Amino acid sequence: MPPSYCVKERKPCVRWVEKYFKDCLCNLKDEISFSFGLTSLVFWGVAEIPQIITIFRTKKSHGVSLVFLLTWVAGDICNLTGCILEPATLPTQYYTALLYTITTIVLLLLIVYYDYISRWYKHRQKVNLKRDHEEEKKPLKPPKPTSKSGIPIPNGTPKAAPRQEHYYMSARSLAGSGTPPWGTYMGAAKSGPAAMESINDSSSDNEAPPASSNNSATQAMPIPRSVAGSYGTFLAAAVNLPLRGNALREGYIGFGGRKLLQEYETHSTFGQWLGWLMAAIYISGRVPQIWLNIKRGSVEGLNPFMFVFALVANVTYVGSILVRTTEWERIKANMPWLLDAVICVALDFFIISQYIYYRCFQRREARDDHKEAGKAAAS
Ligand SMILES: NC(=[NH2+])NCCC[C@H](N)C(=O)O
């Protein structure tokens, strides 16, 4: 590996920054730039925590736009790749990208859990309960004397062929309906001995032997398990990302692609393209959030601190790039990142204003309602 710029120039450098961030701080400007970069990293690290807490508390994610978060993830992927490919970007830019990709994935997983998995599970429980109730209310049907039911066989043993066929059909249809048969069985049991008799009677329509009930109950399980499995894989991939990213980055630095931010000959065209794509995705991603707030006429469920922190993080991010150098070549190479951050600051400012506006509006409305109610009570 060729010696870094810091070593070559024999300048007083900050060792731990060089070691852990692969960055070279040789003068005050570099140090201020790095401090800004670090501040941005910290703010991005905590930016999504307030929203995570809000969702945890309310068990709902209706305040934050899912499309907005999905654009964040899409932009993050372009950002990470762009940072790896474009040597003009700072190491803190890369680490920041890595950090917020992870936090956004955590936030998204939480939303998927509360909005889809948990809701689906509760809905299923409700449907099952309703069905149990209906089963309890249903009058017991007389057994149907069909050729398949097994009833017409006098002295029929449990091993008789029609009986077996009926058993398998019943289990399959029960599994298909998604109703745990044990619920039906228990429901019937609760209805009294007459119902129990009908269960034990092989010709009954409600027949659900415990064996098939277990079967069906476990058949319903693979759905959440498979969902959990796929998210597990997704998470595992996300956890692996930093290592791969580091390896790539170190490899890249090692081969002299990034000369520790001091000398630039070539810029990566692909990295630049990814940077512009990232900027377009990030910027357009704020629109669904702004629209959601307008559509609902409310900001309930949205934590403003996510945008306050994002605003600070974007401002310091811009600071970290601009303080490092005023050289046009470098600024030009960083243009997608700079422009994105600046526009996002403006958009975050707008979202925060929306928050203040709707909050004040709601409070005033509530106060008016209160006054009206007071007047009505007095008259
Ligand atoms: N997942 C994230 N938090 N990504 C950060 C996006 C950064 C971008 N400048 C924005 O404010 O939208």
pLDDT tens profile 2-13: 555 565 666 667
Q: Would you say residue 154 has pLDDT above 50?
A: yes
Q: Would you say residue 324 has pLDDT above 90?
A: yes
Q: How far is the CA of 285 from the centre of ligand 1 (A)?
A: 9
Q: What is the pLDDT of residue 322?
A: 95
- Looking at the CA of residue 48, tell me the nearest atom of ligand 1: 3
pLDDT confidence bin for 368, thresholds 50/70/90? confident
Q: Would you say residue 49 has pLDDT above 50?
A: yes
pLDDT confidence bin for 160, thresholds 50/70/90? very low
Query: What is the CB neighbour count within 10 angstroms for residue 122?
Result: 10
Q: Which residues pair with 263 in a beta bridge?
A: 259
- Looking at the CA of residue 344, tell me the nearest atom of ligand 1: 11
pLDDT tens profile 263-292: 445 778 899 999 999 999 999 999 999 999
- Looking at the CA of residue 348, tell me the nearest atom of ligand 1: 11
Q: What is the pLDDT of residue 85?
A: 92
Average pLDDT, the chain: 74
Q: Which region among 57-61, 140-144, 169-173 has the lowest average model confidence (pLDDT)?
A: 169-173
Is the CB–ligand 1 distance for residue 68 below 6 Å? Answer: no
Is the CB–ligand 1 distance for residue 314 below 6 Å? Answer: yes
Q: How far is the CA of 282 from the centre of ligand 1 (A)?
A: 6
pLDDT tens profile 236-246: 333 333 333 33
Pair 312, 352: CB distance under 8 Å: no
Q: How far is the CA of 105 from the centre of ligand 1 (A)?
A: 12
Is the CB–ligand 1 distance for residue 344 below 6 Å? Answer: yes
- Looking at the CA of residue 72, tell me the nearest atom of ligand 1: 1
The angle, 0 to 180 degrees and rounded to 10, between the axes of the packed helices 181-190 and 161-177 is: 100
Query: What is the CB neighbour count within 10 angstroms for residue 341?
Result: 24
Q: How far is the CA of 17 from the centre of ligand 1 (A)?
A: 24
pTM: 0.64
Q: Quote the ipTM score.
A: 0.97
Q: How far is the CA of 96 from the centre of ligand 1 (A)?
A: 10
Q: What is the pLDDT of residue 4?
A: 58
Q: What is the pLDDT of residue 145?
A: 53
Is the CB–ligand 1 distance for residue 96 below 6 Å? Answer: no
Is the CB–ligand 1 distance for residue 43 below 6 Å? Answer: no
Residue nearest to atom 2 of ligand 1 (CA): 100
pLDDT tens profile 344-362: 999 999 999 999 999 988 7
Residue nearest to atom 11 of ligand 1 (CA): 344
- Higher-confidence residue of 324 and 216: namely 324
- Looking at the CA of residue 96, tell me the nearest atom of ligand 1: 5
Residues in contact with 162: Cβ distance below 8 Å, sequence separation at least 6, in sequence order: 147, 148, 149, 150, 153, 156
Q: What is the pLDDT of residue 226?
A: 38
Residue nearest to atom 3 of ligand 1 (CA): 100
pLDDT confidence bin for 338, thresholds 50/70/90? very high
- The residue-averaged pLDDT of 13-29 equals 87
Is the CB–ligand 1 distance for residue 5 below 6 Å? Answer: no
As a whole number of angstroms, the distance between CA 117 and CA 4 comes to 50
Residue nearest to atom 12 of ligand 1 (CA): 282
Question: 3 by DSSP, 3-state: which?
Answer: coil
Residues in the chain: 379
Q: Which of 39, 36, 57, 56 shows the shortest CA–CA distance to 47?
A: 39
Q: What is the pLDDT of residue 15?
A: 86
3-state SS of 100-154 is HHHHHHHHHHHHHHHHHHHHHHHHHHHHHHHHHHHHHHCCCCCCCCCCCCCCCCC
Q: Which two tokens stand for residue 88?
A: 């003009």
- Looking at the CA of residue 101, tell me the nearest atom of ligand 1: 1
Q: What is the pLDDT of residue 303?
A: 96
As a whole number of angstroms, the distance between CA 341 and CA 355 comes to 21
Q: What is the pLDDT of residue 39?
A: 97
Is the CB–ligand 1 distance for residue 105 below 6 Å? Answer: no
As a whole number of angstroms, the distance between CA 127 and CA 300 comes to 29
Q: What is the pLDDT of residue 151?
A: 54
Name, of 16-20, 163-167, 240-244, 256-260, the range with top average pLDDT: 16-20
- The residue-averaged pLDDT of 223-239 equals 38
